[in-house]
Structure 1
Amino acid sequence: MPRSKTLPAELDPSARQLVTRLRRLKEHSELTMRQLAVKTGYSAKSWERYLGGTSLPPREAVEALARITGTDPVPLLALHEIAADSRDGRRARPAAQQQNEQREREQEQPASPTTPHPGPPAAATARMPRRATGPAPGRFPHLALTAGIAALAVALSAALLLMLRLDHEVSRAAVTASPRTTVTSPPPSYTCRIARVDGRWSAGINKGRNTEIVYGATGADVAEAQCLLRRAGISPGGIDGMFGPLTLRAVKTFQDRAGLTVDGMLGPRSWKTLRG
């Protein structure tokens, strides 16, 4: 998704702020849509809709993006909850209220000059005083004034309720995180224990396996490779078991120094050279 793509103008302010922050996290992580789909479990098409502002992402998708980018999910989830409440409030607006407001607006509009006003027969008109041919004095101005006051009261009440609700939700999110945010488990930690085992270097994490790993992979095999890359004097970033941009750069640097094919994939030949 191009960075320059403009968000929809009708997007709710809280949803706009949430999508902007999610876009920034995705750009800083240097992940493609396909890699983002692999790491979060949501398809690339879904992320295109989420980051394009055409669909509000599930809170689980927001948590997943925060987790893989190492970001505190609490502020993002607070924005998500406010955006979801605002969307649900617009959907739940009673149809009867919309019809009443439409009827009040129609009453406020003056009658069209081309519409003839029904009156008494011509013979009766001739006998009636001139002032009896028009509408009763003050009738229509009174209806218009009443309808205007009612519409204004409804609008002011709705605005006040929305402001109070938003203030309450933001305060609640700032004081405590939602219970669901506490169930996310922290990423596993790995410790490098570099040693020579049967004449080969080992970090003691994946029991000497030479499984082929590629960009986007996670787990003990990636952590083993990160430890061995660090032993070789090439920094892969953290030892977190995630084959991200920094680890990919370190693998390509190692392959280039060792005279191997620089493809960013750790296959049997790269593992053999890495273990010495």
Structure 2
Amino acid sequence: MPRIKPLPDELDPLAAQLVVRLRELKTHGELTTRRLAAGTGYSARSWERYLGGTSLPPRAAVEALARLTGTDPVRLLAMHEIAAASWDIRRAESAAQPRPGEHEPEEQRRSEDEKGERREQEREQGQPPRRLPHIALTAGVLAVTVAFMAALLLVLRLDENVAPAAVATPAGTAATTPPHSYLCRIARTDGRWSAGINNGRDTEISYGDTGTDVAEAQCLLRRAGISPGGIDGMFGPLTLRAVKTFQDRAGLVVDGMLGPRSWKALRG
């Protein structure tokens, strides 16, 4: 296994975090720079620079590596945006400082390898090098850095606190299912009316109850000519009103509860 080279000491810390993560994905996927080149469309030499910390990878290269290794690109791209902003700030500050031999022709101060590397990187980025005033560039990139740092913190916080399989339900909403519907099979057996739902039980029920006993009572109330609403097995406001109406007609205590006497009257 080739020895992992240490990152340059002068590499920006934010860029170093990105490079370390890219190295981890390469190692975990058992990828060589040749396989990276074949799978991402960026040359092996470019990946050597990206993973060596001498050149910042373009966004598309980071996204291609995430796709190649089956990694969620959101967090990687957030790290890249922050690293790119910090990288630009350092380049702008470096360009603003006077250098020895600054007035010499640029071609005499830059080696052929450096010029070739710059041209290759510009082709991959698909953009010509930008030349902006130092103060405006620094202020603009600093604002972008702050914004994307906040975005990265949010991504990390969500990554730690939210289970991947959990789906949050917005406040004020609830998962609803269609109400159950019962079929009334009214029949009279041994002098008692039955709806064929609760096996003839006379269980005491009241407002808020649900189930087959409520559905049985709703069927018998409808047989008595009083509508309880739907036959859904839910003792709600309509069923409560129907029970009270039936109790009043039958001369019973109007309490809205179906006890033994109310059941006897319903089945009678």
The two structures have a TM-score, normalised by structure 2, of 0.38
Mark the structure with the bigger radius of gyration.
2
The two structures have a TM-score, normalised by structure 1, of 0.37
